[in-house]
Amino acid sequence: MAPAIPKTPVGTPHDFDFEHGRWRTTLRRLLQPLSGSQEWADYTGTSNVHPLLGGRANLVELEITGPLGRIEGVSLRLFDTQRQRWTLNYSNVTGGTLELPMSGGFNGSRHGIFYGAETVKGKPILVRFVVDVLDADHCRFEQAFSADGGATWEVNWIALDTRLP
């Protein structure tokens, strides 16, 4: 049975406006989430964020490289005007399909929180994705998994973005 998705703040159609443009991305990825392993891999590269539909949507292109190879992905973010929430829809180029979406919004203009449900090794889990706007030129993204309905979380993806000229 899928765990219940926690409530999130409402959003606005311009929550992601801060991110439009080109960014230098540094990323740490936990190699074996929910296994007890603490082996991480580091990556660097770029993210490009393109506004769509007057800001009510955007497309993120991620291209990073590290010791274990290259990660290329896209995230399509769409604002649902009726629910006042964003959906985050991600695809890694090697998978070729969109993952299950996460939904959420921003608590004020500097902190966004999004939740979704996935399956890891045949078990349903919760996924939490947090966006922190540090200032006009820096933002931080963190993904975590919970195998116990949100009682505890294991961070498995940390990205720091710095705006490029």
Rounded Cα–Cα distance for residues 87 and 15 (Å) = 12
Torsion angle, alpha carbons of 145, 73, 2, 108, to 10: 70
pTM metric for this prediction: 0.94
pLDDT value of position 131: 97
Condensed to tens digits (0 to 9), the pLDDT of residues 64-91 reads 999 999 999 999 999 999 999 999 999 9
Query: What are the tens digits of pLDDT across the range 16-59?
Result: 999 999 999 999 999 999 999 999 999 999 999 999 999 899 99
Q: Helix, strand or coil for residue 4?
A: coil
Instruction: Report domain extents, the chain.
Output: 17-163
* Cα–Cα distance, 124 to 57 (Å, whole number): 28
How far apart are alpha carbons 8 and 71 in whole angstroms? 29
Q: Give percent above pLDDT 90 in the chain.
A: 88
| CATH homologous superfamily for the domain 17-163 | Calycin beta-barrel core domain (2.40.128.20)
Name the DSSP class of 62: E
Beta strands 111-120 and 102-106: pairing type?
antiparallel
Per-residue pLDDT band at 1 (split at 50, 70, 90): low
pLDDT of residue 109: 74
Task: Note the pLDDT of residue 108.
Answer: 77
Q: Sign of dihedral through CA atoms 126, 159, 11, 16?
A: negative
CB atoms within 10 A of CB 47: 23
Question: In this predicted model, what pLDDT tens digit does every residue of 140-165 receive, in sequence order?
Answer: 999 999 999 999 999 999 999 999 99
Q: Which residue has the higher pLDDT, 107 or 73?
A: 73
